[in-house]
Amino acid sequence: MSTLALGFAVEGGILVISTIITLVLVHRHKLFRMRDLHPPMITSTSTADFAFSVRPR
């Protein structure tokens, strides 16, 4: 196998592996959790907190 063909084979292998990893990660994150859809609301009597703040406690 020539050096050029070996280079193309390595590049093609990297492309295939990175595409598979990307597809797996996208498919896994496609399922939404309840926390993704409805972040927790923080309500407080303090004037520093807003009624619809989405900061985690």
What is the band of 56 on the pLDDT scale with cuts at 50, 70, 90?
Answer: low
Higher pLDDT, 31 or 42: 31
Give me the domain span that covers residue 49. 1-57
Q: Residue 27: what pLDDT? A: 83
Sign, CA dihedral 50-53-55-56, equals positive
* pLDDT confidence bin for 16, thresholds 50/70/90: very high
CB-hemisphere CA count at 13 Å for 1? 8
pLDDT band at 13, cuts 50/70/90? Answer: very high
Secondary structure class of 49 (helix, strand, coil): coil
Closest CA to 38 of 17, 15, 54: 54
The total of structural domains in the chain comes to 1
The reported pTM is: 0.49
